[in-house]
């Protein structure tokens, strides 16, 4: 098949932030890059997480050779339990990423059934017709890689999430030399992170937050509560170093923070001096000026350690007047209200709250490349085709325009979830769509998939409430034993006597029904529902959910 083409098929992450998942297909082999989740928007009532629809992969399960992960953030690995419950394929990732994956799979009781394979930057491995070389990149998490994938029609580079940092705290800088080597060889296509395409210039390195954080440590007179993303290993390392420098003992609170710091210590990313860490129960054994509490909950998650401490409902974290709370993180869009609520509570406790509002100096830096870094990567690789990934449509569009303006790419192509892009050595053509979309999951369980109709019903209930007409029918005679009762929740009648009149509607419906209709509970329920719906809608312009209930006696 000399005319066989490489297909690039995004299943998530192109058209939204999160849920990153992309398939590469050549003939009868599919390689999957990342398996992320997305946290739900407010209109997805009661949904815990959102994962990509992998119907395409399930339909072609015998062709899937493996899932390769770029790094360990939830928007790249969080969908693994769901995907692996449908596809039992090997997972390839770096050491630190695998540590996160193991914890996640163990939680879902899937660890023993999954083949996990460690990969190393610079060490190639083969999956079917694909030869993959991980290339070290810097990000806000450690042990992150881009992927250079040698295919029969050319080399495809997927950057994963990256920024260009030449001096990260762990000393493992981005390998620009390797990208330059691939650029000299010739790149067919570049898939590049679009997250920060709106930001001009360069993203500051991780060390750039240290001077301002050092100043905060120096000025803080009482306890310091230091909160950052639990996956921000670099930030945790800097906080621990500053605590040691300023003579503060460190208590770590929050499950995710404890797990991340333990993994980072085990793998050598954090070196903790003997005696620095204390048990949370020992916080009160030390003077307030000698304590730092490393605490999770920067996004105002309701049950996080910081949220509970802010309302004085944490066993160990008692925030006193004069304590300082430092939020060394960005606000994830959609979390503004919950974060604002936590900050309000902290202020009520007379704590000094320092967060990234632009007035406190540099206390947080992004992990994503800004425009100049994106241009630099494009100029190094000089790809024939440029495909922006990771972001809303407007981000992808702007990123494509940025790539075109560099003058080094033949064509910049914006595709979205489900699009099939076919490439040979000379052309890139859209060739239809596959099934793609979002799967809503309740309770973090891989089994509890929430269908669209359930979301619709929840929205219906949240807006209009429900009405339960309750009828008591004698099983032997078929007669209605007492007056129908109407129970409402979330439905407010607009006028006095409306519910009394609604009860009369139910009685009239029963009077106008034959004995056979009354004996068939399905029929009589539907008649009552239709008549009551018509009456309520006519008199209130509202449409509550109406669910007749029949009690037999």
What residues pair up with 23 in beta bridges, in sequence order? 9, 32
E strands in 104-153: 116-118, 125-127, 130-137, 144-151
State how far the Cα of 350 lies from the Cα of 355, in Å rounded to an integer.
15
* Whether the Cβ atoms of residue 64 and residue 90 lie closer than 8 Å to each other: no
Residues 6+ apart with CB under 8 A from 378: 190, 192, 386, 403, 406, 408, 409
316 belongs to an annotated ligand binding site: no
Query: Tokens 């040979």 correspond to what residue?
Result: 424
365 belongs to an annotated ligand binding site: yes
128 belongs to an annotated ligand binding site: no
Please give the structure tokens belonging to residue 163: 């920024």
Please give the structure tokens belonging to residue 33: 């890059």
Active site residue 193: yes
* Residue in 368, 399, 464, 531 annotated catalytic: 368
Q: Which candidate, 401, 385, 393, 398, places its Cα nearest to that of 199?
A: 398
360 belongs to an annotated ligand binding site: no
Please give the structure tokens belonging to residue 469: 């007409």
H helix or E strand, kind and range, residue 278? strand 277-278
286 belongs to an annotated ligand binding site: no
Any idea what the Cα angle at residue 183 is, between residues 181 and 186, rounded to 5°?
A: 115
| DSSP string covering 51-85 | EE--HHHHHTGGGEEEEE-S---HHHHTTHHHHHH
Q: Name the percent of the chain in helix, strand, coil, to the closest 5.
A: 35, 25, 40
H helix or E strand, kind and range, residue 117? strand 116-118
367 belongs to an annotated ligand binding site: yes
Q: Which candidate, 442, 373, 439, 445, places its Cα nearest to that of 21?
A: 439
In eight-state DSSP terms, residue 480 is B
State how far the Cα of 158 lies from the Cα of 522, in Å rounded to an integer.
57
368 belongs to an annotated ligand binding site: yes
* Whether the Cβ atoms of residue 96 and residue 266 lie closer than 8 Å to each other: no
457 belongs to an annotated ligand binding site: no
Strand order in the sheet with 249-253: 277-278, 249-253, 291-295, 224-227, 324-327, 352-354
* Residue in 143, 193, 323, 417 annotated catalytic: 193
**CB neighbour class for 154 (10 Å; exposed up to 12, middle 13-18, buried from 19):** buried
Active site residue 460: no
Question: Which residues participate in the annotated binding site?
Answer: 46, 48, 71, 73, 75-76, 139, 161, 364-368, 390, 442
Question: Which residues participate in the annotated binding site for Zn(2+)?
Answer: 71, 73, 75-76, 139, 161, 390
Question: Which residues participate in the annotated binding site for Ca(2+)?
Answer: 46, 48, 442
Question: Which residues participate in the annotated binding site for substrate?
Answer: 364-368
Provide the annotated active-site residues: 193, 368
């Amino acid at each position: 098949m000399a005319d066989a083409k490489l297909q690039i098929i995004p299943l998530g992450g192109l058209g939204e932030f999160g849920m990153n998942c992309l398939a590469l297909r050549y003939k009868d082999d599919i390689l999957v890059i990342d398996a992320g989740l997305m946290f739900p928007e407010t209109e997805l009532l009661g949904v815990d997480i959102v994962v990509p629809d992998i119907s395409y992969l399930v339909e072609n399960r015998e062709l899937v050779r493996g899932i390769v992960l770029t790094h360990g953030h939830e928007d790249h690995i969080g969908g693994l339990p769901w995907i692996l419950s449908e596809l039992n394929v090997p997972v390839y990732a770096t050491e630190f990423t695998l540590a996160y994956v193991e914890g996640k799979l163990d939680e879902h009781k899937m660890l023993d059934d999954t083949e996990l394979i460690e990969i190393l930057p610079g060490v190639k491995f083969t999956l079917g017709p694909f030869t993959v070389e991980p290339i070290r990149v810097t990000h806000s998490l450690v042990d992150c890689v881009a992927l250079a994938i040698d295919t029969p029609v050319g080399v495809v580079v997927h950057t994963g999430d990256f920024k260009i940092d030449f001096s990260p705290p762990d000393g493992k800088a981005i390998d620009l030399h390797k990208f330059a080597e691939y650029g000299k060889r010739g790149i067919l296509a570049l898939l590049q992170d679009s997250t920060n395409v709106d930001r001009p210039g360069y993203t500051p390195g991780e060390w750039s937050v240290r001077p301002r954080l050092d100043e905060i440590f120096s000025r803080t007179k009482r306890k310091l509560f230091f909160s950052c993303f639990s996956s921000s290993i670099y930030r945790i390392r800097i906080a621990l170093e500053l605590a040691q420098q300023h003579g503060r003992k460190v208590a770590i609170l929050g499950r995710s923070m404890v797990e991340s710091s333990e993994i980072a210590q085990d793998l050598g990313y954090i070196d903790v001096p003997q005696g620095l860490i204390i048990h949370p129960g020992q916080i009160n054994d030390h003077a307030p000026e000698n304590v730092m509490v490393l605490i999770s909950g920067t996004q105002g998650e309701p049950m996080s350690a910081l949220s509970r401490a802010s309302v004085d409902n944490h066993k160990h974290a008692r925030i006193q007047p004069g304590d300082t709370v430092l939020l060394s993180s960005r606000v994830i869009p959609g979390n503004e209200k919950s974060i604002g609520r936590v900050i309000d509570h902290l202020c009520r406790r007379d704590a000094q709250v320092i967060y990234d509002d632009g007035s406190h100096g540099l206390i947080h830096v992004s992990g994503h490349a800004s425009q100049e870094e994106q241009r630099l990567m494009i100029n190094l690789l000089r790809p024939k085709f440029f495909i922006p990934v990771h972001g809303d449509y407007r981000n992808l569009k702007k990123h494509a325009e940025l790539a075109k303006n560099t003058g080094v790419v033949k064509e910049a192509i914006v595709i979205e979830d489900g699009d099939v892009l076919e490439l040979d050595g000379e052309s890139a053509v859209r060739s239809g769509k596959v099934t793609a979309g979002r799967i809503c999951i309740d309770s973090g369980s891989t089994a509890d998939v929430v269908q669209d109709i359930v979301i619709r019903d929840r929205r219906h209930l949240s807006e209009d409430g429900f009405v339960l007409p309750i009828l008591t029918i004698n099983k032997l005679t078929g007669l209605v034993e007492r007056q129908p009762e109407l129970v409402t929740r979330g439905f407010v009648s607009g006028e006095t006597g409306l519910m009394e009149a609604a009860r009369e509607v139910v009685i009239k419906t029963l009077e106008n029904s034959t004995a056979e209709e009354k004996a068939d509970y399905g029929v009589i329920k539907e008649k009552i529902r239709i008549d009551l719906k018509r009456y309520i809608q006519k008199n209130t312009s509202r449409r509550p959910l109406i669910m007749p209930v029949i009690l037999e006696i």
